[in-house]
Structure 1
Amino acid sequence: MEDFELDPTLDTRNLRDEFKGLSNEAVKNNLDEKRVSLEIAIENVDHDFNVGTIVRSANNFNVQAVHIIGKKKYNRRG
């Protein structure tokens, strides 16, 4: 999928309609251009589920970075 563009009606990837049919690299470049200059810090979160939810939400809003602060270990798989 990297070297060619797909027919948007045949693209089954979980993407917004505006990105359907584009290569993965083109999607990443477009998102980098529109990235929000916002960073989120998470501190003293009790459960892994909360961390995963916050990271997924930040990704959805195209934030620049998420920082997890604290000594508690968490499962990176969410």
Structure 2
Amino acid sequence: IKGLESPVAGVADILIPPDIESANMLAKSTTYWAKFRLAHVIMGAKAPILIPSRADSADAKLLSIALGIIVVSSGGGVATK
């Protein structure tokens, strides 16, 4: 659409919005219009922070928990011993 020439243009595996309002809009629109399954965590703290929405399905909550576990196990969060 914008004439970008790149092997990855248009095939993103992850979308990182700049703020929580944009993230909320992106999540709601992709699940409603595109029927995406998604998970969301906030990173940058000692551990990933799960932020389920009241409207999230059980599937979305489970995927968010799984994503948080993956982030910690890959070194992206601090796991306490």
**Normalising to structure 2: TM-score of the pair?**
0.30
Larger radius of gyration: 1
Of structures 1 and 2, the one with the larger relative CO (CA 8 A, separation 6+) is: 1
